[in-house]
Chains A and B, each alone.
Chain A
Amino acid sequence: MERRNFLKAALLGSIAGAVHLKPENVFARESKEAPGQNDLVAVMGGEPEVMYKKGIAALGGMKAFVKKGQKVVVKPNIGWDKKPEFAANTNPQLVAAIVKDCLAAGASQVVVFDHTCDEWQACYKNSGIEDAAKAAGAKIAFAHDEKYYKEVDLPMGLRLKKAKIHESIIEADVWINVPVLKNHGGAKMTMSMKNYMGIVWDRGFWHANDLQQCIADCATYSKKPVLNIVDAYRIMTQNGPKGKTTNDVVLAKAMFMSKDIVAADTAALKFFNQFREMKMEDVSHIGKAAKFNIGTTDLDSLKVERIKI
């Protein structure tokens, strides 16, 4: 009697499991390959949260990127001890909006961190990101000591073949890359790929070993962000990446979103070029990354949605 019941239950259970699993798989695949899915979304003219909402909707909503129960990392740029109006760091409202959306999509936890350049507690605090992210329900991770980083291999890398990457990225199911758009004295521009410098411990190695190549090398890391969101609400057009005064900042009110990191950076660069001349060849990490086939610089080959608010 008991055995029969058990067998029944097991049979029913496995059927239920199969049925339960299958549609989700099928659905996920369909949603990715669905015709009309946008590859790149560019938004302009709104407040950060508004632009984000319109943009993510055009990409099929956060549920297309974050599944129920997943551990998520949202990685903004928190490099500098600067207030939001200096645009040296990612906009805190945008970070908060993304965190909330991840949690709404069912994320089990959302972690926010950056390996800062200035003193980390001051950066976390004065950027406004710590408070905003915490209020939105995220966990703030520490990233100021080597002990928080673990070594990974970058088999495709030409110069950077190994890197110590922050444990929260390694442990996460998915991560979302949220850089801010700035000019940069060394790398010329800082966008999605340059934002990887905040997930690694030893940045000095990059600077000493062909910075542009190392940026592209690190972008080949097997765990790629499921989404890149370039914050161009305020952009720093001169004296980047730290900036001196708010004179370095332009209120551009734009945002670029794509799963394709090369495309996101290409779009952001072309937008930036309207404010200050910036050639693709000079920001050579973009071309180098395209050579690795991790994305395309040919925006015409993509389905792009442009949204003006």
Chain B
Amino acid sequence: MYKFLKKGRVAVSIIITVAVTLAFLFFSNRETDLFNGFLKIQFVPALLGIFTGSALILGLLTILTLLFGRVYCSTICPLGTLQDATSRTASLFKSKKSRRFKYSSPKNLMRYLILGAAGIPLIFGSSAVIAFLDPYSNYGKISSEITGRAEQFVHNLLSSAFPDTIFFRSYSVFIAGSFIFALAFLILVLAMSAVRGRLYCNTICPVGTLLGLVSKFAAFKPEINRESCNKCTLCVTNCKAECIDLSKGTIDESRCVGCLNCMTVCKKGAVTYKYSWKKSSKASEQPVVNPQPSPASSGRRDALITMGLVGTFLAVKAVGKVAPLAAKPKKTGIAPPGAVSIDNLKSNCTACQACVTACPNGIIKPATGEYGADGLLMPVLSFDRHFCGYDCNVCTQVCPNGALIPLDIEEKRLTQIGKVRFNLKKCIVFTDKTDCGACDEHCPTKAITMIPWGDEGLFIPKVNRNICIGCGGCEYVCPAAEKAMIVEPNEVHAVAEKPKEEKQEKIKVDEFGF
């Protein structure tokens, strides 16, 4: 039965990982419905999105963990699957001896410190730390920066081979910091998994640590039947979590990812899932269960504290605003539509880069200093290459966290992410005394109109900031050496006034006019 279960687990994990990867590769073209569901089932997005539609998913993930332990880590987490694949590939190149896993003791201090470092800022309304530690989000960064760029390169090679059918994909904005982080993280995780299986998951990953704590209360736990076990160590050498201590005959459920390896390899059928809820009440009656109860009970205490922190996080989130920790920088960036405010973005975004890769105009880039130190790699708009499409809401649709809340097209068209400021002295019409009007041409709401100026039949832009939505069309297209149109960010997004309908009187024309 466990063999069958394991096959199922491997199949599901591959499907999810491929889907998440494809989501990052195929977000463009405004086709988002198919894949973004796979991003939403990830743990941290579900936790952050609890009040923006992910409560059910978070509930299901919690129930799953309470039933079977950390199966999220072995089945749903794409970074986990990547590590399993690496570990397995690496074992092909290892000697028989070094291929075997050994039991290692838990690095609890490190685990809980990292969990605290990631979790406590969340309570205070900052996702800045978790953004660098969440396994899904880091998998997203890898997909965006490494896999995505590689795919783009291959795509463009194909495009030069078949120029008529495959279009050339203009290269996306390259932010060195984002690329280097993704690459360094990838190398770290690959190296750790190649050498020691799920070492990353059990020492660094805060999601692994948190779910490990929940797993202590799981209904079904892996157990070794000491009567049938002949201590052949097959389970230990196949345990990539390195959590089976055969000398004590115990399995550390806080580190077990539920990969089912031990159960499938045991020739005696001694490793099985055991229902533990009923037993735990009887546990005290049984004389020889655990000679040293302290690790388990201290584990429980840690678990309760953590749950308390998670509870506090949720309570604070439910109550509403807590000012982010760090001081605000003087100048700030323009947050994508749906971000509600830069504070909201900084509280909920884990910089998974889904919006960055999905933007059909390629104008969303990972922030470097725009939002300050607590907003690194979070999405910020740049109008250097293009501008925000009036009829596009893709970024708000792909965000799994609720850092960008979904906007329908009507809402998006009125969402004011910034307001333009016009600098007359820089304008071509003013400096060169020639027609231009590029800004007016691109303005979707007619916040910019051209009005007569001077006596040479020239027209100059006039700006109505109330109906400007900050799409950046004018800023992008302004041909002046120093832009005459610059969008100033709204720290809190506003609702722009609806552009006035201008009905025309009907003129009947029956002649050609010449």
Point out residues on A near B: beta carbons under 8 Å.
Answer: 42, 44, 81, 117-119, 121-122, 126, 139, 141-142, 144-145, 147-148, 184-188, 203-213, 237-239, 241-242, 244-245, 247-248, 250, 252, 254, 266-267, 270-275, 279, 281-282, 284, 299, 304, 306
Contact = CB atoms under 8 A, between A and B. Distances in A.
B434 A275 contact: no
Given A186-B437, A212-B435, A250-B504, A119 B450 contact: no
A119 B389 contact: yes
20 contacts: A42-B512, A81-B390, A121-B360, A139-B164, A184-B437, A185-B459, A186-B450, A203-B438, A204-B479, A207-B428, A210-B434, A244-B444, A250-B504, A250-B507, A270-B514, A272-B513, A275-B507, A275-B509, A279-B457, A281-B457
Interface stretch (B120-128, B130-138, B188-196, B495-503): B495-503
Most buried by B among A117, A207, A306: A207
Given A122-B391, A147-B168, A117 B442 contact: yes
Contacts of A122: 30, 360, 389, 391-392
Given A141-B164, A186-B459, A274-B511, 4 more contacts: A187-B435, A187-B437, A238-B504, A254-B512
Contacts of B360: 119, 121-122
B390 A245 contact: no
Contact of A274 (B434, B442, B513): B513
Given A186-B438, A282-B457, A208 B512 contact: no
A244 B464 CA distance: 15
Contacts of B514: 42, 266-267, 270-271, 299, 304
B236 to A, nearest CB: 54
Contacts of A119: 360-361, 386, 389, 392
A244 B434 contact: no
Contacts of A44: 512
Contact of B441 (A141, A186, A209): A186
A185 B507 contact: no
B443 A242 contact: yes
A247 B506 CA distance: 11
Contacts of B457: 279, 281-282, 284
B286 to A, nearest CB: 67
Contacts of A203: 438
A185 B392 contact: no
Contacts of A272: 513
Contacts of A145: 168, 170
A275 B499 CA distance: 23
A206 to B, nearest CB: 8
A79 B434 CA distance: 23
Nearest to A210: B434
Interface in B474-507: 477, 479-481, 499, 501-504, 506-507
A42 B514 CA distance: 10
Interface of B: 29-30, 164, 167-168, 170, 360-361, 386, 389-392, 428, 432, 434-438, 440-446, 448-450, 457, 459, 477, 479-481, 499, 501-504, 506-507, 509, 511-514
Give chain A's interface secondary structure class: mixed
A215 B443 CA distance: 21
Nearest to A304: B514
Contacts of A248: 502, 504
A112 to B, nearest CB: 13
B509 A274 contact: yes
Contact of B389 (A118, A139, A266, A275): A118
B450 A185 contact: yes
A17 to B, nearest CB: 33
A208 B436 contact: yes
A141 B450 CA distance: 33
Contacts of A241: 441
B509 A252 contact: yes
B132 to A, nearest CB: 31
B437 A185 contact: yes
A208 B428 contact: yes
- Which 3 A-B pairs have CB atoms at the shortest separation, nearest pair first? A186-B437, A185-B440, A208-B479
Nearest to B391: A81
Nearest to A117: B442
B440 A208 contact: no
A207 B436 contact: yes
Most buried by B among A81, A212, A244, A272: A244
B167 A142 contact: yes
A274 B514 CA distance: 10
Contacts of B449: 185
Contacts of A304: 514
A144 B289 CA distance: 70
Contacts of A245: 501
Contacts of B389: 81, 118-119, 122
Given A122-B391, A186-B438, A306-B512, A244 B386 contact: no
B441 A273 contact: no
Contacts of A279: 457
Contacts of B436: 186, 207-208, 211
Most buried by B among A204, A208, A273: A208
Most buried by A among B434, B450, B459, B511: B434
A208 B428 CA distance: 6
A43 to B, nearest CB: 9
A272 B513 CA distance: 8
B252 to A, nearest CB: 51
A205 B479 contact: yes
Most buried by B among A213, A254, A282: A282
B451 to A, nearest CB: 10
A188 B445 CA distance: 19
Contacts of A271: 509, 512-514
Contacts of A148: 168
Given A122-B392, A271-B514, A211 B504 contact: no
A282 B445 CA distance: 25
B336 to A, nearest CB: 15
B500 to A, nearest CB: 9
A275 B512 CA distance: 11
A41 to B, nearest CB: 11
B441 A242 contact: yes
Contacts of B481: 208
Nearest to A143: B167
Contacts of B438: 186, 203-204, 207
Nearest to B452: A282
B441 A117 contact: yes
Contact of A210 (B164, B432, B512): B432
B390 A270 contact: no
B480 A208 contact: yes
A186 B392 contact: no
B162 to A, nearest CB: 11
B512 A239 contact: no
A141 B163 CA distance: 9
Given A44-B512, A119-B386, A142 B440 contact: no
B167 A247 contact: no
Nearest to B428: A208
A306 B514 CA distance: 10
A275 to B, nearest CB: 5
A144 to B, nearest CB: 7
